[in-house]
Structure 1
Amino acid sequence: MRKLNIRVLVKISLIIQAVHAGDIVMDDLCVYAEENAGEISESLACYLDGYPGIANDTEVYSDFVCANNLELIYYGQQFKDVVDHVYGQKPSATSGDVVAALNHYMDYDDFLEFS
């Protein structure tokens, strides 16, 4: 079991592996990366941190996210849903398959289907 810590730089492929293995619970976490990260790649360096709060109908991010100019890439539950969907369809999926599915979900708000 690999423990991933919040607010520590890690490649997204390691987060994918940890979620798939059940080593991390994403219910209260989000995935953040540097601003303008663009499309997700297997080597994307990112952080885990808590969900943003809400104040006056506006999302309020942690001091850590703000100080490091981070952008919310994925809400934790959505991230987990995409990972679970991929491995549910394709047990032999690679991190690259999951990354493709994550990008597809971001673009189309729909799960990528593997035939």
Structure 2
Amino acid sequence: MRKHQFFSLTDILEQVKLEQCTQDDFCLYGNDEGDLALDSLYLVSDYPDVVDDKDVYPVEVVERNLNLVYYGEQLIDVLIVALDEKPGASPHDLVDALNYYNWNDTFMPFA
């Protein structure tokens, strides 16, 4: 995943699919505090560092006053489970699965 750039969630999902859900060393940051949206832009950047038990976010995140939206590892896990349960999942299905996980801290059942 290319870092330090803004991408739409549609583009991020497509990139994750192309990389076959293997690279999870990134985080998504954005202005959104609610549900993720396919057409919203998110900054792909590094994980925050932990200093004295506090998260220290990348400079570009702090300068733009962005919020942590998703850890790459969690995003990949949610997408793997969703695609395993529903191999033909649409981008809308995947966003629903990501939002469901955010609100319920569990994977969305597709059955």
Separation in structure 2 between the aligned mates of residue 20 and residue 72 of structure 1, nearest angstrom: 22
Matched, 1:32 2:29: yes
> What is the aligned counterpart of 1:55 among 45, 51, 55?
51
Separation in structure 1 between the aligned mates of residue 78 and residue 11 of structure 2, nearest angstrom: 15
Q: State the aligned residue count.
A: 111
Output the aligned Cα RMSD.
1.5
- Letter aligned with residue 45 of structure 1: L
* Aligned pairs (5 A) from 1:1-115: 4-22=1-19, 25-34=22-31, 36-115=32-111
Q: Give the TM-score normalised by the residue count of structure 2.
A: 0.92
Separation in structure 2 between the aligned mates of residue 84 and residue 19 of structure 1, nearest angstrom: 10
Kept in 2: contact 1:20–1:84 (CA 8 A): no
Among all aligned residue pairs of Structure 1 and Structure 2, give the percentage whose two residues are the same amino acid: 31
Give unmatched runs, 5+ long, in structure 1.
none
Give unmatched runs, 5+ long, in structure 2.
none
